[in-house]
Amino acid sequence: LPPEGVAFSMERFWDRVVPVDDEDFVGRAVVTLGNLERWIRMREHRKRTLQRLSFELCPGAEIAMSIYCTTIEARVPYPVYLLNENNKLLKSETKHLCPSTGAILHPVEDVETYVEVAGQRVNVTRAEVAATKHFGEPGMKLLGFKAASSLQPHHRIFHSYFVHPNDKGITGSSALCQALIDKMIAERLMAIVRYTARRNAEPCLVALFPQTEEVDNDGVQTRSPGFHMVRLPWAGEI
């Protein structure tokens, strides 16, 4: 509140939200309040980066990219188990027991893993099992280009992701990515990329569709430059 004897000043705060205009007060107030509601909603729903990976265009040329999940299925959260006496979180532990003696077995020294080959059990270590699941470092590698019209509706059986250049990872990623986007849009092409999400994840093929930047009349960005990444299914998944 203003001190006693001082007139209330609309210009300090409320003029930005509800501007005082004798000619079109109602119209400008509605527009400004609508923008304020949009700004508040954008701050509440802040986009979080799912991954930060490198995109290899060719040997020696890489772009730093950030991956965002645009659409995801809402699921019921997992239950949390509490102790009924003090409501503290319960921790679950798994132990292996010997069926003959009931003794507790060590998960590394006493437990062996095997692979059945030609009817025989071949013992393998945990390190060897982990090595068979390693297909390379996480990242994206460009394999080639195809016409954007070659992607059919039945090829889209997973939700898409949005890939945006990250200049903090590699300087100049946005400039090189924008040049690639402009060329792909001009030629009406999509990129075929090998995508490895995590270190022990199975690599898959994805299609990248370019998207240019768009701004409204107020200069606010409505569409970010980047790629829509669509995971391509294997033959058995169609």
Angle at 204 between CA 202 and CA 205, to 5 degrees: 170
Query: pLDDT, tens digit, for every residue of 140-162?
Result: 999 999 999 988 888 888 888 99
Grade residue 205 by pLDDT with cuts at 50, 70 and 90: very high
- Per-residue confidence (pLDDT) for residue 186, from 0 to 100: 92
Mean pLDDT of 205-234: 87
Report the distance separating Cα 67 and Cα 49, nearest Å: 6
Per-residue burial over 28-50, b if 16 or more Cβ lie within 10 Å, else e, is eeeeeeeeeeeeeeeeeeeeeee
Mean pLDDT of 21-50: 56
Query: pLDDT, tens digit, for every residue of 48-103?
Result: 788 899 999 988 889 999 998 877 777 888 888 898 888 899 888 888 888 888 88
Give the position of tokens 């299914």.
233
Higher pLDDT, 193 or 7: 193
